Chains A and B, each alone.
Chain A
Amino acid sequence: MTSPGETSRRGLLVRIGALFNLVAGVVLAVPIARYLLSPVSRKRTRAYESWISLGAVDQFPAGETRLAIYRNPFHTPSDGDTAKVPCWVRHVDGNTFQVFAINCAHLGCPVRWFPQSNLFMCPCHGGAYYADGSRASGPPERGLFEYAWKVEDGQLHIRAGELPTPGLTTLGVRRSRWA
């Protein structure tokens, strides 16, 4: 028997055992945390966006707004059709374009272009946008999200790769790409 305040052999063993398990816990926790946070790790997020071609410029007649489809630059083997992303290309004139995300700025539903009334309309909660993407009516707080674009070798390129969401534009560095 040991007097109070003194550590017994058994007590010491339990403490050493607990320490071992604590160390093992930390050793395991680090890779588990890294694994779980992988979608937001800097290495991954840097690869999310890149320039991608929507095809030859002459597919998009001046003055019209057409649906274009691209394969998301960042994809995985199990994506199937979900790797395809639609967007609206508005050829303003000459070498001036506007490329809008398909997602409504309210809650991300796919907006449809109506050339007859020159409006984008959203089927979910009735958001509407003018031809230049600015907000016309309904619950959205802002206009449609726009991709950065450039014309190179007769091809229209956009900078794409991330789902545009309302939070994307308000804060941080990465968000500045969405006008």
Chain B
Amino acid sequence: MGLRGLVRWFDERLQLGKPMKAVLEHPVPRQTASWFYVFGSAALTLFVLQLVTGILLALIYVPSAGEAWNVLHVLNRDVSAGWFIRALHGWGSNFMVAIVLIHMVQVFLFGAYKYPRELTWVVGVLLLLVTLGMAFTGQVLRFDQDAYWGLGIGASIASRVPVVGHAVVDLMLGGPIIAGATLSRFFALHVFVVPGLLIAFVAVHLVLVLKLGINEWPMPGRLVRRATYVQEYQQLAHEDGVPFVPNAVGKDIVFSGIVLLAVAACAFFIGPFGPGGQPDPTIIQVAPRPDFFFLWLYATLSYLPPSYETPVLLIGPALVVLGLIAVPFVAGEGEKSWKRRPLAVMAVILVAVGWASLTHLGLHTPWSPEMDAWSGQPIADKYLEHRTALERQGALVFQLKQCRNCHALEDSGGKRGPPLDAVAVRLTRDQLIRQVIQGGGNMPAYGKNLSPPETTALVAYLETLRPKGEVPAQNASNAAARGTGR
């Protein structure tokens, strides 16, 4: 019995040959064999990569708060190619989130969510959520300082749920504090629960794509109408169609290969993510920061006014998800081409620009004090030259009282408060004293922390901070009263 005989033997029993052939060779509109249609299959390829590398990591990893961090180092250093598998899984995760988002934008701009593919879109939204869920829970399994304090942030957000917030926190952490039980449950979520959902949603998503057919290439002016669409599509697919395999699948395969190579290249040349510092809560010299795809959220949280925070945190995500799910039900018919959907294009640009700006801010964190500026960055000479003894004493106060942690001089120092290179142009002596002693406008009051001589010296120094040739700030009413005003 040759190979062909063997295949026939199995197929006689399994009877999968015919249906599989029908699936692979189902007709698709000719123009969908396009480079714009490769992102969905690439996301699927990355998911398979994540499954395989995830199982490989699970052979070694121990979900114990006391040991996970050490085991990650064992993976990085002692296991052959362990660092590479970790790197593949980490980079694969970033690529997967990115490709899923690109896929979503493409599908949105090509109007693919319109009748009859509403459910495909809704399941796609769910797939985005579970993909982000995988990214977040995976970040916790890399159990380092960022993971530990990230859980604290998650707990603080969860605690704001009215009435049951406290119980939600205890359930999320598996106990009263972030500890062993917390890591165990995030492990269960990351390797069983969320992937289970992901596999189920992927299956439904694929079945829908097969049943309803791939979205045709949108032509300006070709409108979707419920009454006629299915018939029109069948015509397009059958009369001007090509079989998915081999005509359309080629570009998918090429792109998936490129993406896999890109992941491997990033993994090889840049290496695995962390782990960062050990998850010992008593090491408090940390500046926790989330992974790349959550930086925008981190930035949002520091810019929201305090009173908006809880409602935005609790209601915002629900509104975003509901908004996404509503898209095909609000605009289920009509124009598909992005060339005739300016609002859709603007929405994408708006979201992209907003996301990119917030991510950029998240990378630079101008809202955080620079904790070491006062001890690590001396005041430049030009801010000390030609000053009196009192003014230099003020410079010392400026440094030692950690003003630099929030205020920059010539771009050196924190960016939480305004830079003070030219503060004397903006504030008069009286205003400087008031601001230092009483604070305000997001600055702490230093009245209790500075002796009167320190305040005098500090203000004397601040009064010297103005560019050459610029006039110091004046109190107009005083000047008028003295008759010297201009």
The interface of chain A, by Cβ under 8 A from chain B, is 36-37, 39-40, 44-45, 48-49, 67, 69, 72, 74-86, 102-103, 106-112, 114, 116-119, 121, 123-126, 128, 130-131, 136-141, 161-163, 165-168, 171-172, 174-175
Measured between beta carbons, the chain A residues less than 8 angstroms from B279 are 80-82
Q: Does B309 contact A (CB under 8 A)?
A: yes
Q: In the complex, A169 Cα to B250 Cα: how many Å?
A: 59
B67 to chain A, nearest CB (A): 7
**A139 CB contact (under 8 Å) in B65, B159, B301:** B301
| Contact digits for B114-152, partner A, Cβ 8 Å, 1 yes 0 no | 000000000000000000000000000000000011001
Q: In the complex, A123 Cα to B298 Cα: how many Å?
A: 12
Range of interface residues on B (Cβ < 8 Å): 35 or more
Q: Does B367 contact A (CB under 8 A)?
A: yes
| A123-B286, A126-B368 known, 13 other contacts, Cβ within 8 Å | A74-B175, A78-B184, A79-B66, A80-B67, A82-B279, A85-B177, A102-B281, A109-B153, A109-B288, A121-B369, A125-B368, A126-B367, A165-B155
**A165 contacts B156, CB within 8 Å?**
yes
**A80 contacts B444, CB within 8 Å?**
no
List B297-355 residues whose CB lies under 8 Å from chain A: 298, 301-302, 304, 306-307, 309
**A116 contacts B170, CB within 8 Å?**
no
Q: Does B160 contact A (CB under 8 A)?
A: yes
Q: In the complex, A162 Cα to B176 Cα: how many Å?
A: 5
Q: In the complex, A39 Cα to B170 Cα: how many Å?
A: 6
Measured between beta carbons, the chain B residues less than 8 angstroms from A106 are 156
Query: With contacts A76-B175, A85-B177 known, is A138 near B155, CB below 8 A?
Result: no
B372 to chain A, nearest CB (A): 11
Measured between beta carbons, the chain A residues less than 8 angstroms from B166 are 165, 167-168, 171-172, 174-175
Instruction: Identify the closest chain A residue to B152 (Cβ).
Output: A108
Measured between beta carbons, the chain A residues less than 8 angstroms from B302 are 124-126, 139
**A112 contacts B285, CB within 8 Å?**
yes
**B156 CB contact (under 8 Å) in A77, A107, A126, A162:** A107
**B442 contacts A138, CB within 8 Å?**
yes
**A117 CB contact (under 8 Å) in B176, B282, B446:** B446
CB pairs A–B below 8 angstroms (9 shown): A82-B65, A85-B282, A126-B367, A139-B309, A141-B309, A165-B165, A166-B160, A167-B166, A168-B169
**A82 contacts B148, CB within 8 Å?**
yes
Q: In the complex, A137 Cα to B414 Cα: how many Å?
A: 15
**B443 contacts A137, CB within 8 Å?**
yes
Measured between beta carbons, the chain B residues less than 8 angstroms from A167 are 156, 158-161, 165-166, 169
Q: In the complex, A126 Cα to B403 Cα: how many Å?
A: 13
Query: With contacts A119-B444, A130-B444, A165-B156 known, is A107 near B301, CB below 8 A?
Result: yes
Measured between beta carbons, the chain A residues less than 8 angstroms from B159 are 165-168
Q: In the complex, A121 Cα to B403 Cα: how many Å?
A: 12
Q: Does B163 contact A (CB under 8 A)?
A: yes
Query: With contacts A79-B180, A107-B157 known, is A39 near B174, CB below 8 A?
Result: yes
Measured between beta carbons, the chain A residues less than 8 angstroms from B410 are none
Instruction: Identify the closest chain A residue to B310 (Cβ).
Output: A166
**A86 contacts B281, CB within 8 Å?**
yes
Query: With contacts A119-B444, A121-B369 known, is A78 near B65, CB below 8 A?
Result: yes
Q: Does B58 contact A (CB under 8 A)?
A: no
**B284 contacts A110, CB within 8 Å?**
yes
**A123 contacts B367, CB within 8 Å?**
no
Q: Does B167 contact A (CB under 8 A)?
A: yes
Instruction: Identify the closest chain B residue to A70 (Cβ).
Output: B282
Instruction: Identify the closest chain B residue to A88 (Cβ).
Output: B284
Q: In the complex, A114 Cα to B406 Cα: how many Å?
A: 13
Measured between beta carbons, the chain B residues less than 8 angstroms from A123 are 286-288, 368-369, 371
Measured between beta carbons, the chain A residues less than 8 angstroms from B439 are 136-137
Measured between beta carbons, the chain A residues less than 8 angstroms from B367 are 125-126
**B64 contacts A117, CB within 8 Å?**
no
A112 to chain B, nearest CB (A): 6
**A125 contacts B177, CB within 8 Å?**
no
Q: In the complex, A69 Cα to B176 Cα: how many Å?
A: 17
Instruction: Identify the closest chain B residue to A83 (Cβ).
Output: B179
Measured between beta carbons, the chain A residues less than 8 angstroms from B307 are 141
Query: With contacts A109-B152, A121-B369, A139-B306 known, is A102 near B173, CB below 8 A?
Result: no
Measured between beta carbons, the chain A residues less than 8 angstroms from B301 are 107, 125, 139
Measured between beta carbons, the chain B residues less than 8 angstroms from A124 are 149, 153, 287-288, 298, 302, 368
Q: In the complex, A44 Cα to B293 Cα: how many Å?
A: 36
Q: In the complex, A165 Cα to B160 Cα: how many Å?
A: 8
Query: With contacts A72-B179, A109-B288, A110-B284 known, is A116 near B173, CB below 8 A?
Result: no
The 5 closest A-B pairs by CB, nearest first: A80-B66, A167-B159, A78-B180, A136-B444, A165-B159
Q: In the complex, A126 Cα to B298 Cα: how many Å?
A: 12
Q: Does B178 contact A (CB under 8 A)?
A: yes
**A171 contacts B165, CB within 8 Å?**
yes
Q: In the complex, A44 Cα to B175 Cα: how many Å?
A: 9
Q: Does B448 contact A (CB under 8 A)?
A: yes
**B155 CB contact (under 8 Å) in A108, A125, A175:** A108
**B306 CB contact (under 8 Å) in A79, A114, A141:** A141
Q: Does B186 contact A (CB under 8 A)?
A: no
Q: In the complex, A116 Cα to B402 Cα: how many Å?
A: 7
**B286 contacts A116, CB within 8 Å?**
no
Measured between beta carbons, the chain B residues less than 8 angstroms from A174 are 166
**B402 contacts A119, CB within 8 Å?**
yes
Q: In the complex, A34 Cα to B64 Cα: how many Å?
A: 23
B376 to chain A, nearest CB (A): 14
Q: In the complex, A140 Cα to B405 Cα: how many Å?
A: 18
**B180 CB contact (under 8 Å) in A82, A85, A125:** A82
| Contact digits for B54-80, partner A, Cβ 8 Å, 1 yes 0 no | 000000000011110000000000000
Query: Of B162, B302, B307, which is in contact with the most chain A CB atoms at under 10 Å from its CB?
Result: B302
A146 to chain B, nearest CB (A): 17
